[in-house]
Amino acid sequence: MYLLAKSAPDQDALEVGFATGSTALYILSGLKSGRLTSIDYAQDEFEREGEKLIRDSGLYSRHKLIEENSIKALPRLYDLERQFNLIFLDGWKTFDHLWVDTFYCARMLKVGGYIIFDDARMPAVRKCISILSRYYQFEVIDNYALVGGYRQRIWHLLSTRSYLPPYVALKKVREIGATDAGRQFDFWKSF
C-alpha cells in the first residue's frame, strides 16, 4: 500500500473501509502531499481507534472521514467530479455492494492510477477484479514484484495454502469511454 501510494502521482487517494486506520496511515505516509478520503459507516464499532491513530500520526490535516455507507457516499463524490490516483477497496464484500463501489471508483480513478482490492481470494472480489481487467481493460499489477518477488509469493503460498494473492492492484490504462465497454452499448465479453 505504502509503495503504491509512493509511486502514484501525488494526488488525492480514496479508501472504502477505514476500520482501525492502519491502511489509511500507510497511504498517507506514502503520499507526499496528497489528501486521503476514507469512507466507513461503523467507526463506533472500532471505538474510533482509526481516527486516534491518524490524529496521533500528525497526518490528520490531510485526512477526511466520511461516516456513511459507501453505496450512498460514492455516487455523491462522483457527482462532485472527484478524481483519485489511488483507491483502496476493503469495505463490504457481497458482490452487489462491492460492484457498486467498484463501478464508481473505476470512474473516479485517473488514468495511470491504481485501484487495490483487499481480500482478493474472496469470490466476489475476484469477480470484480475480473470485470475490471477483462471488460474495462485495467492492467493487473504484479504485486509480488513490488514487495519481495518470488520469496513473498512462496511465503504467501506456504502460510495460506493458496495460490491466490491476499490483495490485487490494477492500473487504469485508458479512460473507460475509450474501451469497447465504454463505446458499445451492446459490447459483451466473458469475465
Amino acid 163: pLDDT: 55
Amino acid 35: pLDDT: 93
Amino acid 171: pLDDT: 94
How sure is the predictor about 4, in pLDDT bands with cuts at 50, 70 and 90?
A: confident
Amino acid 137: pLDDT: 93
- pLDDT of 116-154, one tens digit each? 999 888 999 999 999 999 889 999 987 655 555 556 556
Q: Between these two residues, 64 and 189, which has the higher pLDDT value?
A: 64
What sign has the CA pseudo-torsion 94, 97, 101, 106?
positive
Residues sharing a CB contact under 8 Å with residue 172, sequence separation 6 or more, in sequence order: 106, 109, 110, 111, 112, 113, 114, 115, 138
Amino acid 191: pLDDT: 63
Say if residue 162's pLDDT is above 60. Answer: no
Please tell me whether the overall predicted TM-score, pTM, comes out greater than 0.95 for this model.
no
Mean pLDDT, rounded, of the chain: 85
Amino acid 120: pLDDT: 86
Say if residue 65's pLDDT is above 90. Answer: yes
In single-letter form, the type of residue at position 79 comes to: D
Q: Can you name the residues that pair with 38 across neighbouring β-strands?
A: 15, 65
State the fold for domain 2-175: Rossmann fold (3.40.50)
Query: What CA–CA distance (Å, rounded) separates 136 from 101?
Result: 15
Q: What is the mean pLDDT of the segment spanning 47-56?
A: 88
Amino acid 102: pLDDT: 97
Residues sharing a CB contact under 8 Å with residue 96, sequence separation 6 or more, in sequence order: none
